[in-house]
Amino acid sequence: MEIKMITKVNELEYEVAVQTSDGLEIMVVLADTLVELHLLKPQPLTMQQYQILKQNYALAYRQAIQYLSYRQRSCGELEQYLLEKGHERQQVMQVISRLQEQRYLDDTLFAQSYVRTAYLDNKQGPNKVKQTLQQKFQIGPEAIEEALTYYSEDIQRKNIAQLIAKLIRTNKKYVNRALEQQIMQKLRQYGYPIQLAQLVWQEEQEIQINETEEAQVFIQQAEKVYRRLQRESDQYKKRQKFCQKMYQLGFAVAESQEWFEKQENEDDETN
């Protein structure tokens, strides 16, 4: 076998025409590969050299560069992408290794960048960020732990406080214990440490619902629940369901029973 012609395609790639026993074969090869193999001009080709060229490494490299041009990627993302393109795993790992050497790929920098972006969106707590980096981007534990140092407790506190204020506005039918449970559940889903969330909740008393507002909420919710139970003919079951629902919303049973009895008496007088 021998190389018949080498034609430059671009700064990175060359088209190599190889004469084999089966005829003329054209393949695209990285410039660095030709340099490493000392194949810079038409010349005889050993079987080992031919196998290296045959790997079609240049195509995988070109596709990787194009994939990286849209945004920063993790090594895991790129590996999955190239495997889906039909490249052999060994070839994919060679491409990844080369891109790491060229600093196009760096999981540590990727994780740090992702963390900085994530904490600007206060709905992504550190636990959720960690899970995403592990499962979606396949980042190693050391890189994740280093990146999470940028998500300081002060930033978490600020985000939690902002979320508490928003969640109070969107959960107006809940008060007291029920309101706290609803908010803690949501903060846990967002990926914030529950102990820190509870601490911030206690510190943010000034943004929580006051007594006047709570009384208004109680009346609004009591009237809604009462209307929904109008078809219940059994007085005992009606009161039981009413108090149970109000308790789920965070209101005291005694207060609910008192309101229910008063409302029932008013209905009797009206009828």
Q: Which of 145-149, 161-165, 184-188, 214-218 has the lowest mean pLDDT?
A: 214-218
Whether the pLDDT of residue 207 is over 60: the answer is no
Instruction: Please tell me whether residues 66 and 45 are part of one structural domain.
Output: no
Higher pLDDT, 96 or 169: 96
- What pLDDT does 134 receive? 95
Choosing from 171, 194, 209, the residue where a domain stops is 209
Which string of DSSP letters, residue by residue, matches 28-62? Answer: EEEHHHHHHTT--SS-B--HHHHHHHHT-HHHHHH
**What tens digit of pLDDT does each residue of 128-156 get?**
999 999 999 999 999 999 999 999 999 99
Instruction: Please tell me whether residues 205 and 216 are part of one structural domain.
Output: no
Q: How far apart are CA 31 and CA 41, in angstroms?
A: 12
Instruction: Please tell me whether residues 203 and 158 are part of one structural domain.
Output: yes
Instruction: Please tell me whether residues 218 and 258 are part of one structural domain.
Output: yes
- What pLDDT does 206 receive? 54
- What pLDDT does 157 receive? 92
- Hey, what are 106's tokens? 């760096």
| CATH number for 197 | 1.10.10
DSSP three-state, residue 22: coil
Whether the pLDDT of residue 96 is over 70: the answer is yes
Whether the pLDDT of residue 236 is over 60: the answer is yes
% of the chain at pLDDT higher than 70: 94
Which residues constitute the domain of residue 126? 107-148
pTM for the model = 0.63
Higher pLDDT, 65 or 122: 65
Residue 270's pLDDT band (cuts 50, 70, 90): low
Whether the pLDDT of residue 213 is over 90: the answer is no
Instruction: Please tell me whether residues 118 and 93 are part of one structural domain.
Output: no
Whether the pLDDT of residue 269 is over 70: the answer is no
- Hey, what are 124's tokens? 């992504």
Instruction: Please tell me whether residues 217 and 263 are part of one structural domain.
Output: yes
**What tens digit of pLDDT does each residue of 82-95 get?**
999 988 887 888 88
**What tens digit of pLDDT does each residue of 28-63 get?**
788 888 888 888 888 898 888 888 887 767 788 889
Q: Which of 119-123, 135-139, 266-270 has the lowest mean pLDDT?
A: 266-270
Whether the pLDDT of residue 18 is over 80: the answer is yes
Instruction: Please tell me whether residues 46 and 87 are part of one structural domain.
Output: no
Q: How far apart are CA 85 and CA 78, in angstroms?
A: 11
Instruction: Please tell me whether residues 48 and 93 are part of one structural domain.
Output: no
Instruction: Please tell me whether residues 200 and 161 are part of one structural domain.
Output: yes
Residue 114's pLDDT band (cuts 50, 70, 90): very high
Q: What is the mean pLDDT of residues 199-214?
A: 67
* Count: domains in the chain: 5
- Hey, what are 118's tokens? 């994530």
Q: What is the mean pLDDT of residues 234-260?
A: 80
Instruction: Please tell me whether residues 82 and 131 are part of one structural domain.
Output: no
From residue 151, alpha-carbon distances to 35, 120, 144, 216, 233 in Å are 45, 10, 11, 39, 56
Instruction: Please tell me whether residues 220 and 261 are part of one structural domain.
Output: yes
Q: How far apart are CA 202 and CA 219, in angstroms?
A: 26
Q: What is the mean pLDDT of residues 90-117?
A: 91
